[in-house]
């Protein structure tokens, strides 16, 4: 069923009010929930931090107790050793004194002679328990090391651990040396495990006290605290907690203890979890866990906040707002219906007019429309009048724009045709390949010109002056586009027309310069290289007018063909150019180029550079001109990576084979 505009507007008003009610309600619920969660987050972070400080305080108490016990043990053993040394005056009485000497509980005495034989043992140690055959935690042999230290009067202490009868023992010993016949090494040993048993009892007492304290604390209405170790075994928590937290957390897919460990790295950012993964037979509720790590115990103190307790106030407020807005909608709809009725009639007429617009011929002049004129008088409301006037303006403007578009399209097509013809004409100036019998066995040649626009200013040429001399040229005009292409055409025409009468490169370049510089209103110029190669001897006569120096590829690598004959060509009359010469060895290849090659840029603005061009030539798999040209263009293309060229790019390669025809 197709609804009328009136019904659509009424539905739009009603729908907008309903969406407004729902939107306000949802926003209120979200805003209140977010505020409550933020408050509970801060409260939870502070509560967990205080609980962590409480646990750390307990640890510090245990640590100080253990340290005090260790210091006391060390002091007692040292005091006993001094007492035995004081009592033993007569070496013959030493065994009797040590046998009757009262030993404190947990202390053992052991005496060995220089051969390592046990002469006396008292206390918890047995004669078979011989720590002097072991190595201490510093990897020192106990017997020899303690005897050497004690004989010198130095502190002789050590810590050893070993299995005795299937039971691990850890002992701390202090030693003294009794001189006389068969000097004795006397060790006073204390079992460290008894200290740990005492510390374990203190730890259990602390856990019971913390259990009592944490059980009284609440986070929000019913949140709570618990402590677990690194393996997921609860240490402190409410009744009914699971015996292990290594199960899967359905909210993350990880094990719950793994989520707790990760959350401890960011104490202010909680991890979401289901309460059923914490407490047996708990109702299905979601919670946020705030975690801090207690490194000394490797415990994780965790605060639990129920998310539904934070969202409840927001839901209640949103329901009230939605109900109030829906009630107001029932009173607003009749008024909206009346207003819509006044709007729809003229809108329908304007709609009919708009549907008929495509049927009109916009190439004709605009004509007055009675319908639009009647609606534009303002009797149907300012908005309708504004819309009618807009449609009349659109009709007039559209006719004008269509005519302008047709004229612009015609001009663009004409310009594109002219540029296409200019491109064909410019490329027609470039030389055609020489006949195969001319170059056979004496040289090979390859060239390429890629303009940055439809037409460009780079140029190259090659032709035979006579049966023995090959002339080749490359140049780069200072401008771009159509002016550069015209200047390039003039340059090539002058070179070809004057080459017969001026076969020497420096004279030919001077003659071209005079003709180009005369009446050069735009002060354009061209960088130019002209070379004449003697195909019998390999002698190369050349002139370089401000152009990039060519390179030569031979058996000894890549090298620059240096030398400048004079300034750029065409800028000023009366310039003289110096003749340069070199000898091209058989098999060598000359590489000529314009700055569009070594200055080609990628999207980041990095230029290709002379160094990269040098490396590419050195790595070329062949010195054949076609292969060198293709290898260089491929390497430049990789560097540019699709970036639009900003300058023409031209390459000319000539390889000399040597020998007469």
Residue 154 to residues 80, 91, 145, 393, 584, Cα–Cα distance (Å): 16, 21, 11, 111, 89
Instruction: Report the alpha-carbon distance of residue 459 to residue 474 in Å, rounded.
Output: 6
Measure the CA–CA gap between 651 and 590, rounded to whole angstroms: 11
pLDDT of residue 45: 84
- The answer to whether 81 and 175 are in contact (CB under 8 A) is yes
What pLDDT sits at residue 380? Answer: 60
Distance of CA 493 to the CA centre of its chain: 56
* Averaged confidence pLDDT in the chain: 83
> Which residue in the block uniquely carries the two structure tokens 């949103």?
318
Higher pLDDT, 89 or 99: 99
pLDDT digits (tens, 9 = 90+) for 37-60: 777 778 888 888 888 888 888 778
- Per DSSP, the three-state class of 48 is helix
CB distance 371 to 391 below 8 Å: no
pLDDT band at 361 (very low <50, low <70, confident <90, very high): low
SS percent in the chain: helix, strand, coil, step 5: 45, 20, 30
Long-range contacts of 570-574 (CB under 8 A, 24+ apart): 570/487, 570/491, 570/512, 570/513, 570/516, 570/517, 570/520, 570/524, 570/525, 570/526, 571/517, 571/520, 571/523, 571/525, 572/517, 573/513, 573/514, 573/517, 573/518, 574/514
What value does the mean pLDDT take over residues 96-119?
87
* Phi (first) and psi of residue 121, to 5 degrees: -140, 135
Mean pLDDT lowest for which of 205-219, 563-577, 609-623? 205-219
Residue 421 above 60 pLDDT?
no
Split at pLDDT 50, 70, 90, the class of 409 is: low
Task: Flag whether the pTM goes above 0.85.
Answer: no
Rounded Cα–Cα distance for residues 89 and 31 (Å): 88
pLDDT digits (tens, 9 = 90+) for 14-36: 777 778 767 776 776 677 667 77
Of the candidates 494, 499, 448, which has an alpha carbon nearest to the alpha carbon of residue 470?
A: 499
Residue 155 CB neighbours (<10 A): 10
Nearest to 595 by CA among 540, 653, 530, 546: 546
Structure-token pair, residue 403: 């005519």
Instruction: List, for residues 459-469, the tens digit of each pLDDT value.
Output: 999 999 999 99
pLDDT at residue 420 is higher than 60: no
Question: In the prediction, which pLDDT does 517 show?
Answer: 93
Structure tokens at 266: 């960011």
Q: Give the least confident one: 215-224, 470-479, 518-527.
A: 215-224
What's the confidence (pLDDT) of residue 344? 65
For 432, residues 6+ apart whose C-beta sits below 8 A from its C-beta are: none
pLDDT at 359: 63
How much is the average pLDDT of 110-122?
89
Lowest-pLDDT choice from 341-350, 388-397, 575-584: 341-350
pLDDT: which is higher, 158 or 371: 158
Q: Which of 28-37, 142-151, 553-562 has the lowest mean pLDDT?
A: 28-37
- Judged by average pLDDT, the poorest of 159-173, 379-393, 492-506, 535-549 is 379-393
Instruction: Spell out the domains of the chain, with CATH numbers in brackets.
Output: 18-83+217-341 (3.30.450.20), 88-198 (3.30.450.20), 366-428 (no CATH), 430-656 (3.60.40.10)
* pLDDT in the model for residue 364: 65
- pLDDT tens digit sequence for 484-514: 888 998 999 999 999 988 889 999 999 999 9
Q: Give dist(CA 396, CA 412) in Å, integer.
A: 25
């Amino acid at each position: 069923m197709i609804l009328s505009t009136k019904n659509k507007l009424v539905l739009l008003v009603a729908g907008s009010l309903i969406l407004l009610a729902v939107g306000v309600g949802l926003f209120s619920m979200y805003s209140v929930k977010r505020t409550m969660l933020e408050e509970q987050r801060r409260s939870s972070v502070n509560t967990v931090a205080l609980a962590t400080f409480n646990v750390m305080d307990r640890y510090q108490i245990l640590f100080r107790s253990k340290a005090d016990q260790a210091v006391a043990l060390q002091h007692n053993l040292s005091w006993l050793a001094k007492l035995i040394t004081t009592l033993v005056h007569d070496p013959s009485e030493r065994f009797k004194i040590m046998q009757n000497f009262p030993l404190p509980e947990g202390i053992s005495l052991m005496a060995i002679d220089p051969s390592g034989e046990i002469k006396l043992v008292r206390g918890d140690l047995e004669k078979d328990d011989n720590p002097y055959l072991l190595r201490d935690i510093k990897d020192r042999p106990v017997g020899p090391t303690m005897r050497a230290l004690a004989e010198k009067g130095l502190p002789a202490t050590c810590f050893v651990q070993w299995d005795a009868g299937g039971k691990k023992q850890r002992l701390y010993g202090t030693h003294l040396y009794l001189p006389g016949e068969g000097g004795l090494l006397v060790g006073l040993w204390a079992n460290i495990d008894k200290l740990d048993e005492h510390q374990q009892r203190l730890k259990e007492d602390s856990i019971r006290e913390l259990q009592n304290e944490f059980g009284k604390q609440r986070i929000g209405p019913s949140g709570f605290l618990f402590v677990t170790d690194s393996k997921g075994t609860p240490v402190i928590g409410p009744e009914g907690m699971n015996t292990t937290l290594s199960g899967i957390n359905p909210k993350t897919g990880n094990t719950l203890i793994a989520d707790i460990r990760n959350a401890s790295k960011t104490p202010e950012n909680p991890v979401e979890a289901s309460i059923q993964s914490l407490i047996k037979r708990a109702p299905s509720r979601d919670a946020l866990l705030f975690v801090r790590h207690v490194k000394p115990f490797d415990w994780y103190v965790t605060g639990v906040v129920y998310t539904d307790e934070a969202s409840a106030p927001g839901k209640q407020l949103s329901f009230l707002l939605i109900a109030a807005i829906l009630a107001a909608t029932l009173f607003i709809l009749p008024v909206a219906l009346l207003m819509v009725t006044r709007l729809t009639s003229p809108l329908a007429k304007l709609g009919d007019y708009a549907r008929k617009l495509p049927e009109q011929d916009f190439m004709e002049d605009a004509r007055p429309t009675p319908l639009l004129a009647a609606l534009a008088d303002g009797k149907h409301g300012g908005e309708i009048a504004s819309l009618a006037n807009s449609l009349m303006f659109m009709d007039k403007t559209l006719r004008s724009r269509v005519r302008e578009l047709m004229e612009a399209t015609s001009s663009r097509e004409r310009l594109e045709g002219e540029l296409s013809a200019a491109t064909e004409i410019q490329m027609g100036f470039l030389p055609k390949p020489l006949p195969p019998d001319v170059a056979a066995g004496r040289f090979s040649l390859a060239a390429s010109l890629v303009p940055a626009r439809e037409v460009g200013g780079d140029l190259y040429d090659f032709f035979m002056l006579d049966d023995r001399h090959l002339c080749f040229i490359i140049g780069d005009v200072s401008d771009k586009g159509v002016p550069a292409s015209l200047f390039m055409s003039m340059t090539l025409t002058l070179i070809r027309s004057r080459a017969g009468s001026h076969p020497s490169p420096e004279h030919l370049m001077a003659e071209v310069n005079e003709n180009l510089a005369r009446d050069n209103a735009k002060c354009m110029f061209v960088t130019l290289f002209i070379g004449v190669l003697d195909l019998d001897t390999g002698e190369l006569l050349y002139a370089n007018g401000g152009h990039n120096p060519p390179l030569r590829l031979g058996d000894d690598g890549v090298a620059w063909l240096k030398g400048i004959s004079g300034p750029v060509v065409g800028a000023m009359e009366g310039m003289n150019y110096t003749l340069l010469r070199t000898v091209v060895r058989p098999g060598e290849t000359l590489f000529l180029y314009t700055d569009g090659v070594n200055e080609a840029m990628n999207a980041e603005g990095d230029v290709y550079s002379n160094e990269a061009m040098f490396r590419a030539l050195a790595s070329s798999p062949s010195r054949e001109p076609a292969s060198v040209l293709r290898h260089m263009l491929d390497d430049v293309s990789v560097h540019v990576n699709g970036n639009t060229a900003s300058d023409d790019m031209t390459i000319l390669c000539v390889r000399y084979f040597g020998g007469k025809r």
